[in-house]
Every structure is written in structure tokens, then in C-alpha cells.
Chain A
Amino acid sequence: MDKENLNGIPEEEIIKCSYCGRNEAAEGSEYCDACESKLLAKRIPFMGWAAGFVSLLAAVVLFTVAMSGTILTSGVSSGDKYADDKNWHAAYEQYFEGYRKSVGRINVINDFLNGIFETEQRAYVNPSLGIKKKMINVVANYYGPLDAYYYATAFLSENEMAMPFMKDYTRIYQDFQTTYMTVEETSNKSFEENADYKAILAEMDEHADKEGVNKVFLNYHKYVVAVNLGAPVSEQIEILKNIEKFAAESGDDYSWLSNPTMAQTLYDAGETDETMVYLDKIIESNKSSYEAYRLKMKIQVMAGDVEAAGETVAEFRANYENNELGYFADVLEIEYLRCIGEYEKAEALCVEADESYKNVPETNGIMDLTYIIENRLIVPTEIYRQRALLLMTVGNYGDAFREIMEAYRMETYYAQNIQCVTSLNDPKFYGTLYLSAFLANSNNQVAEEDMPDVEMVLGMFSEGSVSKEIDAIKNGEKTVKEVLAEGDFEAA
């Protein structure tokens, strides 16, 4: 008898359950009822649940952290974008902001881990080092590797200083130090009375082949001696060309050392065309270089190309757009407006720039530096100085003195109490201070309450300690306008 089921269908035509292979599959299914129930009831393994939900939870946490944009990597991406544009100042600001925000959170994580492992103040997580590294690299690009090294010593631990990314900075610092120590005794002769720069420079050259002496730095030290002893500018340029020559031979990049000094020296020599070449080189590698843009703008104004100077100022301002460092753009524009004789506009911009400081609290009558730093402001002494120059140009010497004196008080207070870097040693700064005091005094524009300050300032400077331009004004060889509204537009 043929094998048939109850419905009379031949056995070979019956669709069997694909799981057990014995029973007939239910209608519309590949399994029999018993197997389908069994398979539907099949549990998900515990490991599946655990892996699935742990990974999902971790992903949600990581996603939230990444989206919050305020932890670990905050500021890095935008800082990188500025760094790619060689806008180092803005890049530094972004990195610093990210660093500041991440430090607090990382401390929480480390405290938590120290609690779990019962350890004391151990840094299990230190990812902010990534930002530190970027900040140090930015300093190297803005100022140079020597400054990056000095900056790092105040910023990194001993172990961190030994890390690979510090190797080049440390090597350059050691080269600089070794060279300096080798020639120190000779170069110190420049402080002796009747020092002969030619003899000193020749003696310094004798150290050139000594062990550890870097010829680039040796020539830099020679340049410093030449400047200090008033060697002719042509000889200073010769030394700087040697720096370039030895730098090229070394294979290392020393443009951070040679370009700014060469630009300034060529400018002092009146070689404005060549200066512009160097300034463009500096700007190409550092879009935040206020000094390079400033000199470029001045050269263009002096050449009568006011429009190009305006474009230079606008280019610099564009680099500071959408970040908190518009201060520098303001300072450059104020100086530009002053140089082209737009005194009212310059004054208006001074007032506008000063607006940012309205809410700064004062300690002993001085703006609170902590507040300034925390609120990403810049100590506004250069604005005060520019305003003083502006006021002197229009003959208001009394107010000019009051303005620069305010900046002087600020700088002195910070220098004495916080030991921060100040403009006190900058010839432009103390030149402005002295000139305003002298002019206010000699034109009887000193308010009674300012008289002690004026006397103090005049007493601080001996004959010949200020610039030739100021001496020329004192001796009646030049007018104030000839110095401040023409030529170099400066009191230094």
C-alpha cells in the first residue's frame, strides 16, 4: 500500500518541518507547530543581552560626550582649523579654551578612579596632554622653538618634558644655551666702557668651532652685541645673512629667528622693499603676527599707499574675525587711522575698544588681571598708549600723560604683584611715557594732581636714555607732528 496520510496526499509530496524533518510543516510555515512554538520560545542568550545593551549604553554615553563638545576634545577641531590657516593666535585661544574646560572634567574622572583603586592623586587619565602638545606647537610656530621650550617648562611635568614631541625643542634650547655659555664671557665685554664691537665680534668668531657651538646661535649672539654697541646697520645685516647661511647648511628651520630680526633691521636701514619681502615671509607662516602686519602697514602708509595699508589692516582683522582677539585688530586699526590722520575715527575706535573693559572690577585702582584672563580679554595697555600718541599728535599732552600713566600703573602693578611679562622695557612704551610727561610739563598742561607723577617720570630717564626722535623734539629740532604724524609715527 502506498504511504498516504489521512488527507490522501502521497508521503513524498508532504512538506516536512525543516527543523525536525519528521512532522508536516504547518500551513504558511516551514516548521511544524511543535517546532515553531519551540523556536519562538528560544531565549536570547544572556551574553547577547549583556553585550547588546552594554555596547548600546556605552555608545549613548560616548555619543553624548562627543556631542556635548565640552569635554576632552573641545576646541581641538576649531583650533586645528585655525592652525591649518597658520592663524596661531586664534588656534592657541581655541586650544586653551578646550584645555581649560577639559581639566575640570578630567580631574573628576581621576578622583573617581583614585577612589576606586584607593590611590592618592594619581593621574590615570591625562588626555589634556594632547591639547598641551598642540598649544606648545602653536607657541613654537608663533614665537619659535626656544619660547616653546620655556613655555613647556612651566606647563609640563618632568616626564612629559622627556616625551618625543619635546625632543626638537629641547635640542634647540640646549644648542642655544651651550652656545651662549661658550661666548658669554666674550659677549659680556660689550658692557665694558669703550667696548670695541669689531674686536668682540672677532673674538666671538674664535669660538665657532668649539664643541656644541651652534653657528646660527653664535651669529645671533654676535648680532645682539652689534646692536647693543651700535654697529652700522649694514654690518648687522651681514651678520643676519650669516644666520641665514648657517641655517640653510644646518637643514633646520631658523626662519623664526632670522626673519623678524632681518625685517626690523632692514626697516631700520631704510630698505623697505627688502623689508616687505621678509614681512610677507613672516605673514605667510604666521597670520597672527601683529608686528609684521604693523610694520607692513607703516611702510605702505609711508610710501603713500594708504589704500594698500588699509587692505593690510583689513586682512589682519579678517584673521581675528569671530574670535575674542579682536583687540589686536583694534590696536592695528587705531594706529593705521592715526598714521593717516583720521584722528576722530581713531579716537572713536579707542572708545569702542575700551567698552570691553567697562565691567572689569578693580583692585587697588588697577584692573583685576584674573578677571581679564578669565574673560579672555587682553591687558589694554597698548590701547592706552595709542590713545596717548593720538592725544599728543593733536596737542593734548596733559590727557595723553594721564592715559599712558594709567597703562604704566597697570604694568607696574602686574610686574610687581603677579610677575607677568610687561611692556615696561619696550622703548615704544617708555618713550611714549617720557615724551608725554616732557610735553605736558613744558607746555604747562599738567594737572596739579598729576605733577608728582610727571616729576617721577622725568626723573626716571637720564640724558640719552630715550630715542633720538624724542631728543630731537626736546632740542627743538623736530616738532611733535613731525615725529608722531610723519616718519615712523612713533615715540621710540
Chain B
Amino acid sequence: MTTAYVIFKILTFPGTFVKGFWEHLICKILGLPVETSAYLSLNELCGHVDHTFPKKPFAAFVMATVPSLMNLFIGSAFFGSGYKLIYDMEIGYYESRLAFVLGVFLLYIGISFLCNIFPMVEDAMNLYDILYVQKKGNTVGRIFAFIPTVFVYAGSYLERYCVTEILLVVFIVGFSLLKKYMFI
């Protein structure tokens, strides 16, 4: 499974690399030591940085969600623009080579980011453990953090087993069907 994971990560290297960067940046901000900063290492750390797990609830939450949100935002912007160019504008290769290539490029970059939006399984487990096993942090915060925690927890496992790529395909097809009813 690690081989498949690494292959998918390398195939989507722009998003993988930048996800590693966001994790590294957040570690810096939170004062967490980072052992390796090779964002494209050929193991299950590919797209992540090997760091100490935060022990405080807010730090654990930030570590598990902010890099994900950054990649989600960037991926959505690229993917949305590419999607509009290719599908909404229906620009094919024969219409405008430059615009078509640009559209495909934007789609690829967008997909590469969207395939790398979840944290390491260990980060997600650490967040869940701190908030809902050790019950650190106030109750209101834990209630609000519940859905994001479940989301990143489940997502991190999906990403570990390369299911996010399949879900992305399903999403693209679903979006194609829905888009006509979404904008007017």
C-alpha cells in the first residue's frame, strides 16, 4: 500500500510538495521540532513532515486542519478555473491550443492539491485523542471541533489508502451534473 501511496503522491507532486510546506510552516509557528523537511520522501511521509505532535488542543487542531484548508483553497481555485475554461467555455484543443493547455494545466494543479488535503493519520489520531479521549480543551470548543475532527480523521485514512483519488473522480462527475443547476 505504501508503494501505491507514494506513486499517487509523486503523480500529484505539486500538491504533495506544497502540503509538506504548509505542515512545516505550521510546525514553525507552533514551535514544533521537525526532523525531516524533505517533502517528497519516498515513504509514507511523502507530502508530510516528520514532526513532534502537539499536546495542546488548539495546536493539535491547527496542525491537523490549517495545512489541509490551505491546500483545499488553492486546489479549489485552480481546479475551478481549469474546469470553467475546459468545461464551461468548452474550449477544446482545436479552439485555442494555449487556452486548452492552460485549462488542462490548471485542472491538473487543482487535482494535485485536492488529492493532498488531509493530514497524516498520526496527526488526526493525535487530535482525536487530545480532544475526545483525554478530553482536553473546553466543551464548546470540542463540540465545534467534532465535525472537522471526524472529517480529517476519516480523510487521512482515505488518503493513506489512496481512496481520495477515486472520490475526486466521483466528485468531478457529480459536479459536472450539478453545475448546471448551481449557477444562474
Interface pick from A37-45, A143-151, A189-197, A409-417: A37-45
Q: Is B73 a contact partner of A76 (Cβ separation < 8 A)?
A: no
Bound CA span A133–B184, Å: 20
In the bound complex, CA of A440 to CA of B92 (Å): 60
Q: In the assembled complex, which residues on chain B have CB atoms less than 8 Å from the CB atom of A58?
A: 74, 77-78
Name which of A36, A62, A77, A124 has the most chain B CB atoms within 10 A of its CB.
A62
Interface digits, A126-151 against B, CB 8 Å rule (1 contact, 0 not)?
Answer: 11011101100000000000000000
Q: With A42-B37, A56-B70, A163-B95 given, is the CB distance from A76 to B89 under 8 Å?
A: yes
Instruction: Return the chain A residue nearest B22 by Cβ.
Output: A52
Beyond the given pairs A55-B14, A58-B77, A81-B180, 18 more chain A to chain B contacts, judged by CB atoms under 8 angstroms and listed by A's residue number, are A40-B33, A47-B17, A48-B24, A58-B78, A59-B74, A62-B81, A63-B73, A65-B81, A72-B84, A73-B88, A76-B84, A77-B180, A125-B96, A125-B99, A127-B99, A129-B99, A131-B89, A165-B95
Interface bits B75-94 vs A (CB < 8 Å: 1, else 0): 01110110011001111101
**Choice from A35, A63, A77 contacting B183 with Cβ under 8 Å:** A77
8 Å CB interface, A361-410 against B: none
**Minimum CB–CB distance for A258 against chain B, Å:** 29
A8-43 residues with Cβ-Cβ distance < 8 A to B are: 19, 29-31, 35-36, 39-40, 42
Which residues on A sit within 8 Å (CB–CB) of B31? 40
Give Cα A78–Cα B184 distance, bound, in whole angstroms.
4
A17 smallest CB distance to B (angstroms): 11
Residues of chain A within 8 A (CB-CB) of B73 are 59, 63
Q: Answer whether A62 and B14 are a contact pair too, CB < 8 Å, given A73-B84, A125-B96.
A: no
Chain A: interface residue total (CB-CB under 8 A) = 46
CB proximity to B under 8 Å, residues A101-134? 124-127, 129-131, 133-134
- Write the chain B residue with the least CB distance to A30: B52
Q: Tell me which residues across on chain B come within 8 A of A36, comparing CB atoms.
A: 33
B 133-184 contacts with A by CB, 8 A = 179-184
Interface pairs (20), CB distance under 8 Å: A40-B31, A48-B37, A48-B39, A52-B25, A63-B80, A73-B84, A73-B85, A76-B84, A77-B179, A77-B180, A77-B183, A78-B184, A125-B96, A125-B98, A126-B98, A127-B99, A130-B90, A163-B94, A163-B95, A165-B95
Which of chain A's residues have a CB closer than 8 A to the CB of B35? Answer: 19, 39
A308 at the interface (CB under 8 A from B): no
Contact residues in B for A35 (Cβ distance below 8 Å)? 33
In the bound complex, CA of A35 to CA of B52 (Å): 12
Please measure, in the bound complex, the distance between the C-alpha atom of A36 and the C-alpha atom of B34, giving whole angstroms: 9
Query: In the complex where A52-B21, A62-B80, A65-B81 touch, is A77 in contact with B88 (Cβ < 8 A)?
Result: yes
A80 at the interface (CB under 8 A from B): yes
> Are A77 and B89 touching (Cβ within 8 A)?
no
Q: When chains A and B are docked, how far (Å) is the Cα of A125 from the Cα of B24?
A: 38
Residue of A nearest to B55 (CB): A28
| A424 on interface, CB distance cutoff 8 Å | no
Q: A48-B24, A59-B74 are in contact. Are A80 and B96 (CB under 8 A)?
A: no
A164 to B100, CA, bound (A): 15
Assess the A48–B84 pair: CB atoms within 8 A: no
A160 to B95, CA, bound (A): 7
Q: Are A39 and B34 within 8 A (Cβ)? A: yes
Query: What B residues does A447 contact at CB under 8 A?
Result: none
Tell me the complex Cα distance, A55–B179, Å.
Answer: 25
Cβ distance A321 to chain B, nearest Cβ, rounded Å: 12
Q: Is the CB of A72 within 8 A of B85?
A: yes
Say yes or no: is B28 at the interface (Cβ < 8 Å to chain A).
Answer: yes
Q: Across the interface, do B98 and A124 meet the contact criterion of CB distance under 8 Å?
A: yes
Q: Please, which residues of chain A bring their CB within 8 A of the CB of B95? A: 126, 129-130, 133, 160, 163, 165
Interchain CB contact under 8 A, A80 and B25: no
Of chain B, the residue at the smallest CB distance from A83 is: B180
CB distance from A411 to the nearest CB of B (A): 35
Give the complex CA separation of A125 and B88 in angstroms.
16
Determine whether the beta carbon of B183 is less than 8 Å from that of A29: no
Contact B183 A127 (CB under 8 A): no
Q: Contact between A127 and B85 (Cβ–Cβ < 8 Å)?
A: yes
Q: A477 within 8 Å of B by Cβ?
A: no
Contacts of B180 in A (CB 8 A): 77, 80-81, 84
Contact of A52 among B18, B76, B81 (CB under 8 A): B18
Most chain B beta-carbon contacts within 10 A, residue among A30, A80, A125: A80
Residues of A within 8 A of B85 (CB): 72-73, 127, 130
Decide if A51 is an interface residue (CB 8 Å cutoff). yes
A60 on interface, CB distance cutoff 8 Å:
yes
In the complex, chain A residues whose CB is within 8 Å of the CB of B88: 73, 76-77, 80, 130
Which residues of the partner chain A approach B39 to less than 8 Å between Cβ atoms?
A: 48
Q: Is B106 an interface residue (CB 8 A)?
A: yes
Q: A351 interface residue, CB < 8 Å from B? A: no
**Cβ A66 vs Cβ B70 within 8 A:** no
**B57 interface residue per 8 A CB criterion:** no
Bound together, the chains give a CA A127 to CA B86 distance in angstroms of 10
Contacts of A47 in B (CB 8 A): 17
Beta-carbon nearest neighbor of B106 in chain A: A62
Q: Closest Cβ of chain A: how far from B35's Cβ, in Å? A: 6
What residues on B are CB-neighbors of A44 within 8 Å?
Answer: 21, 24-25, 28, 37
> In the complex, what residues of A have CB within 8 A of residue B52's CB?
29-31
Any A CB within 8 A of the CB of B20: yes
B92 to chain A, nearest CB (A): 7
Q: Which of A29, A51, A78 contacts B17 (CB 8 A)?
A: A51
Proximity bits, A255-278, B CB within 8 Å = 1, else 0:
000000000000000000000000
Q: Are A39 and B33 in contact (CB under 8 A)?
A: yes
- Determine the chain B residues whose CB is within 8 A of the CB of A164 once the complex forms: 92, 94
State the Cβ distance, B21 to closest chain A Cβ, in Å: 4
User: How far apart are the CA atoms of A47 and B13 in the complex, in Å?
Assistant: 13
Q: Give CA–CA (A47, B14) in the complex, Å.
A: 12
Q: How far is the CA of A77 from the CA of B176 in the complex (A)?
A: 12
